[in-house]
């Protein structure tokens, strides 16, 4: 069965510092991988997605993620965090386009000044 693990429940990063949020998935083939962000009281917004091709994908708001098949990972990165990035981040996997997603439990990002 597919599963997604986000090992870090809560991360605090200083404003301007770099960020990496970890995501590991369990799936037999190459899945469709997504990162979403959720601000308090809001729905989920897609940051980026990976299906195939270049393993480094660029997303919105300056985020990027790298797919590493050997590690079954899809970590999210940002070189310089802004206070407005404080939110909850979800990694998700789907087995094909247009199907339901399986989400990780999320990582809450706090940004300190």
Partner 1 sequence: DARVTQTPRHKVTEMGQEVTMRCQPILGHNTVFWYRQTMMQGLELLAYFRNRAPLDDSGMPKDRFSAEMPDATLATLKIQPSEPRDSAVYFCASGQGDRQYFGPGTRLTVT
The footprint of partner 1 (CB under 8 A) covers 32, 36, 41-46, 49, 51, 90, 92, 97-106
24 Cβ neighbours under 8 A, 6+ residues apart: 4, 5, 7, 71, 72, 73, 74
Residue closer to partner 1 (CB basis): 38 or 72: 38
Residue closer to partner 1 (CB basis): 81 or 102: 102
Please report how close the Cβ of residue 29 comes to partner 1 at its closest, in angstroms: 16
DSSP state of 2: -
Please report how close the Cβ of residue 74 comes to partner 1 at its closest, in angstroms: 15
Please report how close the Cβ of residue 103 comes to partner 1 at its closest, in angstroms: 4
Q: Which of 26, 43, 44, 27 is nearest to 35 (CA)?
A: 44
């Amino acid at each position: 069965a597919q599963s997604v693990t986000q090992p870090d429940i809560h991360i605090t990063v200083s404003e301007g510092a770099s960020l990496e949020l970890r995501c590991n998935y369990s799936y037999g083939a190459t899945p469709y991988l997504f990162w979403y962000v959720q601000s308090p009281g809001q729905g989920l917004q897609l940051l980026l997605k990976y299906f195939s091709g270049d393993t480094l994908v660029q997303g919105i708001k300056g985020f990027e993620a790298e797919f590493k098949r050997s590690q079954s990972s899809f970590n999210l990165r940002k070189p310089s965090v802004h206070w407005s990035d404080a939110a909850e981040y979800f990694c998700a996997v789907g087995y094909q386009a247009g199907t339901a997603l399986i989400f990780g439990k999320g990582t809450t990002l706090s940004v300190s000044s």
